[in-house]
Chain A
Amino acid sequence: MQSLPLGQRPAVLDMSNVTKTFNGNVMALREMNLSVNAGDFISLRGPSGCGKSTALRLIAGLSSPSSGRITWAGGQSENDLGVVFQEPTLMPWATVAQNVWLPFRLKGKSYASVKDEILEALRLVGLEKFLDAYPRELSGGMKMRVSIARAMVTKPRLILMDEPFAALDEITRFRLNNDLLKLKAKIGCTVIFVTHSVFESVFLSDRIVVMAARPGRVIREVQVPAPYPRDEAFRTSAEYAALCRQASEALHDAMGEHV
């Protein structure tokens, strides 16, 4: 399922002038504007304290904006979101299959009625042989795959990923990057991805939102014009290196202007 070109995608979510302050004076996020369209892969990138995580929490509905609006196109629905945290955040007492079942279970659906979806999600992340394994029996990368399977099993309108691969070694991280793109191509999901890494954001996303700290705010949006599919060959291409350099410079410019 290929995404439409940028500019032709239907809207999913719109943040307009969203500001979040804590205790009345700490400004975590200042007047953030972001429109998320179906099929987007957006990276939020910036230093610690730039409000990336605050932005994700606001979109997830875990806290509400002090001012400004977050609007879901067509209104909020039951199945807006899937989330992948920095940690795999699996329930250690439940098997892989039971963990992936969770979003359905909380909607009152029996395991039998969603078994096919669960198997499909686990097949997509390459863990169909580990249905009955417990999280402690899996490696860090495999746990993260389960977490991704859980986030996408309900086919939500938007998947939020908060530095999901930060704690993994580089090889695993590259592999998961590749697999995430394959997965996205297959199911056509919309992703907001928080990361520190220039390389990761360029490899994965078609839009990079650069943020700065104190107060947390968006300072620039960079588009990554390279077409999908991007694979291991793209990672070693001159094009990728050039794009990384551009993105990096954009970040430095932005930081230079605003620090």
Chain B
Amino acid sequence: MSIAENQPLYDAEDLKRLRAARFDRFGKWLLPVAVMIVMIWFWDRLVVWNNIPHFILPRPGLVLQTLINDWPMLFDALMVTLQITLMALAVAVIGGVGLAVLFTQSRLVEMSFYPYAVILQVTPVVSIAPLIFIYVDSRTAGLLICAWLVAFFPVLANTTLGLNSADHNLRDLFRIYGASRWQTLRYLRLPSALPYFLGGLRIAGGLALIGAVVAEYVAGTGGIGSGLAFRILEAGYRLNIPRMFAALILIAVTGVIIFAGLSFLSHMLLRKWHESAVKRET
């Protein structure tokens, strides 16, 4: 009797759910970390057991050492790549959203230009990049164009879908109240498109990085102001395998950080009202 009055009563199902929730909370972080530790250990043992020379496969410790020793050079390269990536992403957002708005405002523009947006998207950037670097003098501008080409389509496609998915009853309501085109865009279509846009943005973030890296491979000029991709190429020519790994790790970590950052942005913007950001009891 008194127990039931003083403390919450959990039945077996509640306890099971609580245990599962607790496990989820820690497991989400612990399990991948455990997998990583095991993999690194296994990598290390593989090299030692088989006497693999470091210019074929370096031990993880050596990669870490290289990352620290080469940090000034790698960090500069990272900044170059990151700069191109973020600029491309920014232009992709402006271009993608701008085009999407234009498409939804004018059927004529959409019918005329949508096929070309698709063609730009499906043509592999590696195949266009050499041409771009012939016609564009500035290396930065060339890289930017390549990264933009890859990144803008998801923003365009998702935002267009979002702008067109505004609730049809709400659209009728706006018509009944005599809303102008601009009001309908501002108060109805753009907010409806926000979750779709943010989904596209997350994809575009990763693609902008890929675009920047691929373009650097193609551009390939060395010296000061080279990005991570060029450092990987250069290290490859010199059989400096540890540095290749170090640069690779930096690129991967950068990709993860971009994705996490954009996911966080998405969560902050949608948490108050959108289903995707709402936590539910199951």
Contact = CB atoms under 8 A, between A and B. Distances in A.
Given A102-B187, A136-B273, A89 B169 contact: yes
A91 B179 CA distance: 15
A65 interface: no
Contacts of A102: 173, 177, 187
Task: Decide if the interface of chain B is mainly helix, strand, loop or mixed.
Answer: helix
B177 A103 contact: yes
A134 B194 CA distance: 17
Contacts of B272: 93, 134
Contacts of A129: none
A83 B173 CA distance: 7
Interface string A60-92: 111000000000000000100101010101011
A175 interface: no
**Max chain B C-beta neighbours (<10 A), residue from A78, A87, A102, A103:** A102
B1 to A, nearest CB: 34
A39 interface: no
A233 interface: no
B174 interface: yes
Interface residues of A, number: 21
Contacts of B132: none
Given A87-B169, A93-B194, A105 B176 contact: no
19 contacts: A61-B175, A62-B172, A62-B176, A83-B173, A85-B169, A87-B169, A89-B167, A89-B170, A91-B187, A91-B188, A91-B191, A92-B274, A93-B194, A102-B187, A105-B187, A106-B177, A106-B183, A107-B177, A134-B272
Interface of A: 60-62, 78, 81, 83, 85, 87, 89, 91-94, 102-103, 105-107, 134-136
Given A92-B273, A106-B183, A136-B273, 12 more contacts: A60-B176, A62-B172, A83-B173, A89-B167, A91-B170, A91-B188, A93-B194, A93-B273, A94-B191, A107-B177, A134-B273, A136-B278
